[in-house]
A and B are shown apart, each in its own frame.
Chain A
Amino acid sequence: MKKGIFIILVIIAIVLLGNSAYTVDSREHAIVTRFGEVQKVIVKPSNYDTVINTISSSERYLSVSVSTKVGLHFKVPFIEHVEKFENRLITYKTAPRQVTTFDKKILILSNNAQWQIVDPLLFRVTMKNTNQASLRLDDILYSEINVQVGKTDAHTLIADKVYIEAMSEQIVQDVNKEMIKYGIEVIDNRILKTDLHESNILNIYARMEAERKQKAQQYRSEGEEEKLKIISGADKDAAIMISEAQKEAEILKGEGDALAAQIYSQAYSADPEFYEFYRTLEMYKSTLTGTTMVIDESSPLFKYLFQ
């Protein structure tokens, strides 16, 4: 019988040990509660000070002990319970939401944020779980985004990267003022997607098409313009070239005539009377052939014909 009791004791010991031992992962915060009252917080080293501050801020938490040691731990079996929370960055993504900009345009924004439980004690007391935290974050983030978007023109919201970065930064700061009460810190908030309202998209397509047509027309007209420029330029150059050539040609011819005249006059001035006679005869030779002439019989030409 003694052996039997020993065995039972061993079994009880194993069960108690099993309920007493728990492990905390490096990626978790853990909270040990006794009948709902927080006894112990196991926290990431970087968040240790935050928890210490929270504890010293309120008398409610006087009995809470803080540790940064992960791994195997022991608690009072059955009486104490362990709750664990993610200590890494948690991704949060909103459903697309309609916002109105300063210039009264409607845009559809999707956001994503990264947040982290920096104070598991506050988080445990105020939030219970991450789903509830997401809901709360959603409320606050959306209202902050609305505040900022309401101050911003649609075009800035779409295109101005620097402005948006600053705006996101501002939203994070404002959201954190609220979220820190819940032991949460938002690390980053980004506009994941900026979309236009369905009805605007067709307008954009129409505008894009019109713009393209304009552009196409511009290219073609520019082409025509260039073509005309080149052709008329060529015509102009050709006309100038030819007229210059004609001018030069006339000058040359004139020079030729002048030279000839000079040569002639130099020679002929030796005996102008003979020149006249000589040239007249030459002229007769070249012009009179094929014409009709009536000559008086007293003409010296016929003085021997009618003796």
Chain B
Amino acid sequence: MNSFIPIIILMVVISVVSSIFKGAANGKENPFSAFMNREKVREYDEQGNPVNKSKRPSLGKFPKKTVIFVIIILLAVSAVSGSFYTLDQSEQALIFRFGAHRATVSTSGLNFKIPFIETVEFVNTEEVRRIEYGFRSEFDTSANISEFSNQYYSDVMSEKVMLTSDENLVEVEVIVQYKVIDPEAYLLNVNDPRGTLELAAYSRIRRVVANHNLDNILTLNKAVMQQEMLEDIQEIANKYGLGVLIIAVQLQDVDPPSAVSAAFTDVASAREDKEKYINEANQYFNKVIPEARAQKEMLLNEAEAYKTVRVNQAEGDVSRFVQILERYQEATAITRTRMYLEAMGEILPGMDVYIVDGDNITMLPVKGATISDPNAVVGATANQ
């Protein structure tokens, strides 16, 4: 049924046009020439006879056939050009006939549609699209920001600053990458798919951040959070029937608020300080313990040496004594006297010896007494 209506309309249009065309060919039957004839009737010559001359000779000079022919050619051209559309490899096309979605075309290349009646909307299903939250990247073609690109970033503070679960603030920048996988759902289910997805992403990003505490956000949990955001956004997209696939959620800069960043930096350096202190202590440890070990070895060695020396000495002494004792036992008195005298002989040279006579104080300096010692000299003189 549906396909008959456009054909009927097309036929009506063609029959109207061709009737005009025929009229032009027959001259008198042409509806336009009828108008012309009425104008002509009002003109008379000197004799009062109607003059068979056009009021607008310029129009009359144009062959009406040609004018209509040109119109038809134009119509035909626009009809032909309206019957074809090209579909890129990356795209799919939704065909609407009188607004009713009829089909979705995915064969790329030159495709046919009914002109005037069918409209086409294209959706790129390969392109990875991106949503930025917390910042916007922009291209500035007039200025060269860097050698390689003229892309620059601007922060969006109203998006960037978020509350964490421990009621701190954190600055987060996120990129969401997605792809349209179901072009019908994308166009037919939601009136502003892009805007809807953006809002869904924004609310999920903030919700996930609010679900973690600041320390986790800043350090450990980035991968976990990314996964959580991705799943949450996909869930909402499915709920709304957006027909998109969330490919990735990437946390970009995640920083403490700039107002307190100095304090955060100080914590980092405090952590370094802690390490430094521990290293210093370890350095001390590594110095003291080996030293103590060395001293221990030294003390033990000394003691070992002492012990051995003592024993050896004792054994040496004893062996000498035993040998002397043997001789002594053989000739007790002689040996004894000899030993005594030998000892005296050894000792006396190193001593100052005074010999006294009974109770007299006369002294004889045997050796080493000097003249300057008055007692010694006087004693000696008095004795003689």
C-alpha spacing A282/B275, complex, angstroms:
66
Contact string against B for A residues 198-233, beta-carbon threshold 8 Å, 1 for contact and 0 otherwise: 000100110111011101111110111011111101
Contact count band on B: 35 or more
A88 pairs with B189, CB closer than 8 A: yes
Indicate if B343 sits at the interface (CB-CB under 8 A): yes
Q: Does B339 contact A (CB under 8 A)?
A: yes
Closest A residue to B301 by CB, please name it: A249
- Residues of B contacting A212 with CB < 8 Å? 260, 263-264, 266-267
Chain A residues within an 8 Å CB radius of B336: 277
B188 lies within 8 A of chain A by Cβ: yes
A297:B96 contact, CB within 8 angstroms? no
1/0 per residue, CB under 8 A from A, across B264-285: the answer is 1011011101111110111011
The distance in angstroms between the C-alpha atoms of A197 and B4, with both chains bound, is: 64
Do A205 and B169 have beta carbons less than 8 Å apart? yes
Q: Is the CB of A296 within 8 A of B355?
A: yes
B207 contacts partner chain A, Cβ-Cβ < 8 Å: yes
B350 with A263: CB separation less than 8 A: no
Q: Once the chains are docked, how many angstroms separate the CA of A246 from the CA of B277?
A: 32
Q: How many residues of A contact B (CB 8 A)?
A: 112
A238 close to B267 (CB less than 8 A): no
Residues of B within 8 A of A288 (CB): 347, 350-351
**What are the residues of chain B within 8 A of A219 when measuring CB–CB?**
267, 270-271, 273-274
How far, in angstroms, from A235 to B295 measured CA to CA in the complex?
Answer: 13
Majority SS at the chain A contact face: helix
A7 at the B interface (CB under 8 A): yes
**Minimum distance in angstroms from A45 CB to a CB of chain B:** 12
Contacts of B259 in A (CB 8 A): 205
Q: Which residues of A contact B270 (CB under 8 A)?
A: 215-220, 223
Docked complex Cα distance between A187 and B239 (Å) = 9
Q: State A127–B235 Cα separation when bound (angstroms).
A: 31
Residues in chain A near residue B29, CB distance under 8 A: 3
Contacts of B152 in A (CB 8 A): none
Which residues from chain A contact B351 at a C-beta distance below 8 Å?
Answer: 288-293
- Which residues in B have their C-beta under 8 angstroms from that of A299? 355
Chain B residues contacting A218 (CB-CB under 8 Å) are 270
Determine the chain B residues whose CB is within 8 A of the CB of A281 once the complex forms: 339-340, 343
Contacts of B304 in A (CB 8 A): 252
Are the C-beta atoms of B281 and A72 separated by less than 8 Å? no
> B302's closest neighbor in chain A, by CB?
A249
Contact between chains at A264 and B317 (CB < 8 Å):
yes
B296's partner among A114, A245, A251, A294 (CB-CB below 8 A) is A245
Question: Does A216 contact B289, Cβ atoms closer than 8 Å?
Answer: no
Question: Does A135 lie at the interface of the complex (its beta carbon under 8 Å from any beta carbon of B)?
Answer: no
* Closest A residue by C-beta to B275: A223
Within 8 A of B (CB), among A18-70: 23-28, 69-70
Q: Which residue of B lies closest to A262 (CB)?
A: B314
Q: How far is the CB of A103 from chain B (nearest CB, A)?
A: 12
Question: Within the assembled complex, what's the spacing in Å between the Cα atoms of A285 and B34?
Answer: 171
User: Given contacts A7-B31, A237-B292, is CB(A267)–CB(B353) below 8 Å?
Assistant: no
A193 partner, pick from B96, B206, B300, beta carbons under 8 A: B206
Contact assessment for B300 and A91 in the assembled complex, using a CB-CB cutoff below 8 Å: no
> Which residues of A have CB within 8 Å of B21?
none
Q: Which of B2, B273, B343, B357 has the most CB of A within 10 A?
A: B343
Q: Contact at B314–A263, with CB atoms within 8 Å?
A: yes
Q: From the candidates B99, B240, B256, B303, name the one contacting A253 in the complex (CB within 8 A).
A: B303
Contact A187 B240 (CB under 8 A): yes
Give the interface centre of A91, A155, A239, A281 by most chain B CB atoms within 10 Å: A91
Question: CB < 8 Å: which of A27, A209, A222, A230 contacts B285?
Answer: A230
Cβ contacts under 8 Å, B72 to chain A: none
B90 interfacial contact with A, CB 8 Å: no
Q: Are B191 and A86 in contact (CB under 8 A)?
A: yes
Q: Does A93 contact B (CB under 8 A)?
A: yes
Instruction: Kindly state whether residue A139 has any CB partner on chain B within 8 Å.
Output: no
Q: In the assembly, what is the distance between CA of A264 and CA of B310, in Å?
A: 11
The CB with the most chain B CB atoms within 10 A, among A155, A217, A227, is that of: A227
Q: Mark B182-193, 1 if CB is under 8 A from A, else 0.
A: 000001111110
Known A-B contacts A4-B31, A216-B266, A301-B344; the reply to A188 vs B236 at CB < 8 A is: yes
B363 CB-CB contact with A under 8 Å: yes
Does residue B75 face the partner (Cβ distance < 8 Å to A)? Answer: no
Query: When the two chains form the complex, which single residue of B99, B202, B285, B358 contacts A233, counting CB atoms closer than 8 Å?
Result: B285
Taking a contact as CB atoms under 8 Å apart, the answer to whether A256 and B307 are in contact is yes
Leading 4 A-B pairs by shortest Cβ distance? A256-B307, A249-B303, A223-B274, A238-B292
18 contacts between A and B (CB under 8 A): A26-B188, A88-B189, A91-B192, A112-B199, A158-B167, A159-B164, A188-B240, A204-B167, A220-B274, A223-B278, A238-B289, A239-B292, A248-B303, A252-B300, A271-B325, A275-B321, A295-B355, A296-B357
Partner-A contacts on B (CB < 8 A) = 2, 5, 16, 23, 29, 31, 34, 96-101, 163-169, 187-192, 195-196, 199-200, 202-203, 206-208, 210-211, 214, 236, 239-241, 256-257, 259-260, 263-264, 266-267, 269-271, 273-278, 280-282, 284-285, 288-289, 291-293, 295-300, 302-304, 306-311, 313-315, 317-318, 321-322, 324-325, 328-329, 336, 339-340, 343-344, 346-347, 350-358, 363
